[in-house]
Structure 1
């Protein structure tokens, strides 16, 4: 299920205790450093640091089972934000180049998303403060790990959008990065895709961005862009060139014949955007190109 505010609790009957279970257990005995809890014939230890105050023998408590830092099955009364069989957004709290990223799941031990489940490019990894849509899984040794949302599950979670969304500004969080672009889930749980050509920066898993809806597909999914609408972008690029010319006393050695890599380095825009901006300014009779230079046209004052 998709993680809302309510936590789904699991119970056990005769099954063995495993990490990831949230269940009610009874305090069977005490020790100097904690409590032994029992459910059926199974017993697990609850450290005093993981209890919410003193407990009495015979008292029933709700706990979450996990493996502690010494890889022993243990209990905590800090219940997780996301449990087994649930999906939810968890915040990234730390990175490890050797292991992966660690997520805050509401317990003292952070949850690991293993590096094999992360993008191959390190600059597409999430950063601390980013959020990932995950569930829990167990590895071969029964230890808990995070698992990214599957495409099948995000389809169940998502809601279709309608045509009224076109050109609206939305906020979304990246749940998947591919070579062609990034998939986001918006605040209203619409699936939105941003092609790399429509990005203003390389996007990473878990990043939250604001973008414009450029197209609403028949299936209710959205295409988005981090760039301004073309007519607005033309105006922005043209203003940028005018400011550059003014700061250079009205002339620059760049024209529509200048190499694309030079244009990108000098103006942080593509050659086609540069040519469109030049064309707009020439049409308005604000600039001219002379002998390989672009110059401001000085209009005589009336």
Structure 2
């Protein structure tokens, strides 16, 4: 219940606010400035339970950017030399990222990917950038081509580590990406491979025909709108391809190959053009 969204019944009204039935936790205050208009005893409200600055359990109708057990990209609002960093998680009281839970010292203004959890020594909700102990390391239940939700966690020489479905880690290869990604960014992706060591390779586009066909259609439309030819081919640089089609060179070459096989386009100098009779 602590650190989660709950549906609680209003027990009574008072000058500080409404008191909610917290079950084993007892009565929990929903302060007056957070009370929905018209709320009264007997109503059931969806609230988030956390501890205030005096360690009292309180409720809020505001929804945080992450709850206990979630991974999220949160912005650093303040850094305290002894206590740690304070993160904006959508509530009035900022979320503490203790110094001991930082894998490196964070800076004001940056977005850091954290896991939100309860420190069982203090019973407070805190954050950590030490993610490994909070990730699922059991065999992945995914199949190749499975669509997943991704949170970009960190950059590596090969690309980006991404948290899959709020549970486990995978890798997006830089060579597969049309544009750089941002730490803390959320996006949809696809499982490309599950390696023998259990590591998961990811892509942002579906594999095979599902990915190639829409891109091939875009290339063909661009050729038509440019009087039947384009100054791009499989020898163009990745940067040129990215600027023109917002895709990787690998995906472009696959789509172009698809158009070649259908005899819709042909090479023309350093570019491509509609095959004779297809204009």
Q: TM-score, normalised by structure 1?
A: 0.55
How many angstroms does 1:123 deviate by?
10
Q: Partners of 1:102 and 1:220 in 2: how far apart? A: 34
Query: Which residue pairs with 2:88 in the alignment?
Result: 102
Secondary structure of the structure 1 residue equivalent to 2:227: coil
Counterparts in 2 of 1:42-191, with a 5 A limit?
68=53, 74-78=54-58, 88-89=69-70, 95-96=76-77, 101-104=87-90, 108-113=92-97, 125=111, 132-135=114-117, 146-154=127-135, 157-162=136-141, 165-174=143-152, 176-179=153-156, 180=158, 181-186=160-165, 189-191=167-169
Query: Which residue pairs with 2:252 in the alignment?
Result: 274
Structure 1's 48 and 132: CA in aligned 2 closer, same or farther, altered over 3 A?
closer
Query: Which residue pairs with 2:24 in the alignment?
Result: none
Query: Which residue pairs with 2:267 in the alignment?
Result: 289
1:216 equivalenced with 2:194 (yes/no): yes
Do the aligned partners of 2:103 and 2:130 also contact (CA within 8 Å) in 1? no
Structure 1's 239 and 268: CA in aligned 2 closer, same or farther, altered over 3 A?
same
Residue by residue over 1:204-256, the C-alpha shift from the partner in whole angstroms, topping out at 9 and shown as x without a partner, is 44443322112224465533221220333332332221111110121223334
How many angstroms does 1:292 deviate by?
3.9
- 216-225 or 87-96: which moved more? 87-96
Residue by residue over 1:143-168, the C-alpha shift from the partner in whole angstroms, topping out at 9 and shown as x without a partner, is 985323431332xx454224x62221
Do the aligned partners of 1:103 and 1:112 also contact (CA within 8 Å) in 2? no
1:251 equivalenced with 2:229 (yes/no): yes
In structure 2, the gaps of 5 or more residues are 7-15, 17-28, 35-48, 61-66, 80-84
Structure with bigger gyration radius: 1
Q: Partners of 1:144 and 1:5 in 2: how far apart? A: 10
Q: Partners of 1:102 and 1:264 in 2: how far apart? A: 34
The correspondence for 2:240, drawn from 262, 283, 294, is 262
Q: Partners of 1:48 and 1:300 in 2: how far apart? A: 69
Q: Partners of 1:256 and 1:123 in 2: how far apart? A: 41
Structure 1's 6 and 235: CA in aligned 2 closer, same or farther, altered over 3 A?
closer
In structure 1, the gaps of 5 or more residues are 8-32, 34-46, 53-62, 69-73, 81-85
Q: TM-score, normalised by structure 2?
A: 0.58
Do the aligned partners of 1:137 and 1:144 also contact (CA within 8 Å) in 2? yes
Secondary structure of the structure 1 residue equivalent to 2:263: coil
Structure 1's 229 and 124: CA in aligned 2 closer, same or farther, altered over 3 A?
farther
Structure 1's 279 and 97: CA in aligned 2 closer, same or farther, altered over 3 A?
farther
Structure 1's 236 and 78: CA in aligned 2 closer, same or farther, altered over 3 A?
same
Q: Partners of 2:68 and 2:30 in 1: how far apart? A: 30
Secondary structure of the structure 2 residue equivalent to 1:113: strand
How many angstroms does 1:100 deviate by?
5.8
Q: Partners of 1:257 and 1:120 in 2: how far apart? A: 42
